[in-house]
């Protein structure tokens, strides 16, 4: 999983750059709106909303923008009615793709995703065609500073985590989806800086990619998909050597 973890770290850095340009504000606003509709407007009783607000603050989203997003979710302010929709498909070399979206128009979103996949050597599949290749998990990333790997492992396991990976800058902690927020709060309470916390998908089967040209095609496809306004995130089950990955970006 080392190659895939390295990609996760790169995506995290890219997200920070995107945030500086304002590119991910729209995506976070939609996450806040959907979280409110699912669990209510109180972040104290809605952990998904609490995490979305923390993500918004992390990228310096203004407080009034956050408040407007919450009011859109409650219906106090009119706006689009977004829903969370998962698309499945394939990229170059048979790499499986899970495409997470927030959309107010499924027909538009489906058409846009199909077009991008076709243009970049992929194809859209039916529901369930690749989801068995991924596990739904809670993912927490924390800064390495302040705690050794052994100390973190002990505290994370005690808090309910299932596994830990060591990235270049962060520890990556995996939990059951229902345990994510409890583990996150525990780690925060002992002084660790949480960089990311969300329920997502983790590949359980990896496709090895060992040539730069194929790697470039995969990254171009993922970037094109994530440039779509409706797409929140793309998870792919590739694995490749670090040097191939960095040479392809």
Residue 90 domain-assigned (yes or no): no
192 vs 94 pLDDT, higher one: 94
What is the average pLDDT value for the chain, to the nearest integer?
Answer: 89
| CATH code, domain with 171 | 3.30.70.980
Residue 234 domain-assigned (yes or no): no
In this structure, what token pair is assigned to residue 59?
Answer: 């990228």
Residue 178 domain-assigned (yes or no): yes
Residue 119 domain-assigned (yes or no): no
**Mean pLDDT, range 82-86, rounded to an integer:** 93
Q: Is the pLDDT of residue 23 over 80?
A: no
Structural domain harbouring 137: 133-203
Residue 165 domain-assigned (yes or no): yes
What secondary structure letter does DSSP report for 128?
Answer: T
Q: What is the pLDDT of residues 129-143, one digit of tens each?
A: 999 999 999 999 888
CA distance 101 to 62: 23
* Ramachandran angles phi, psi of 204, nearest 5°: -100, -10
Model confidence at 1, pLDDT cuts 50, 70, 90, reads very low
pTM above 0.75, yes or no: yes
Q: How many structural domains is the chain composed of?
A: 1
Residue 193 domain-assigned (yes or no): yes
* Cβ-count burial 109-130 (b if 16+ within 10 Å, e if not): bbebbeebbeebebebbeeeeb
214 vs 14 pLDDT, higher one: 214
Q: How far is CA 6 from CA 53, 136, 165, 174, 242, in A?
A: 26, 19, 10, 16, 7
Residue 219 domain-assigned (yes or no): no
Model confidence at 12, pLDDT cuts 50, 70, 90, reads low
Model confidence at 17, pLDDT cuts 50, 70, 90, reads low
Residue 174 domain-assigned (yes or no): yes
Q: Is the pLDDT of residue 96 over 90?
A: yes
Model confidence at 58, pLDDT cuts 50, 70, 90, reads confident
CA distance 232 to 144: 26
Q: What is the pLDDT of residues 149-202, one digit of tens each?
A: 898 889 899 989 999 988 777 889 999 999 998 899 898 888 888 888 888 899
């Amino acid at each position: 999983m080392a190659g895939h973890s390295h990609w996760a770290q790169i995506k995290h850095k890219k997200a920070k750059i995107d945030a500086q340009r304002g590119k991910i504000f729209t995506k976070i606003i939609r996450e806040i709106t959907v979280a409110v509709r699912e669990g209510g407007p109180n972040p104290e009783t809605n952990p998904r909303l609490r995490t979305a607000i923390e993500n918004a603050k992390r990228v310096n989203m203004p407080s009034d923008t956050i408040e407007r997003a919450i009011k859109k979710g409650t219906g106090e302010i009119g706006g689009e009615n977004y829903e969370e929709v998962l698309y499945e498909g394939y990229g170059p070399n048979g790499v499986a793709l899970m495409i997470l979206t927030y959309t107010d128009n499924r027909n538009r979103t489906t058409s846009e995703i199909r077009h991008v996949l076709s243009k970049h050597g992929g194809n859209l599949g039916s529901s369930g065609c690749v989801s068995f290749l991924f596990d739904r998990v809670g993912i927490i990333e924390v800064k390495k500073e302040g705690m050794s790997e052994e100390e973190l492992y002990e505290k994370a396991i005690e808090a309910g985590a299932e596994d830990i990976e060591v990235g270049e800058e962060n520890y990556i902690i995996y939990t059951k989806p229902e345990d994510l927020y409890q583990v996150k709060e525990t780690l925060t309470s002992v002084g660790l800086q949480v960089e990311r916390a969300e329920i997502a998908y983790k590949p359980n089967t990896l496709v090895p990619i060992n040539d730069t040209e194929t790697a470039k095609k995969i990254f171009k496809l993922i970037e094109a998909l994530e440039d779509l306004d409706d797409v929140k995130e793309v998870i792919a089950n590739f694995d490749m050597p670090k040097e191939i990955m960095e040479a392809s970006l």
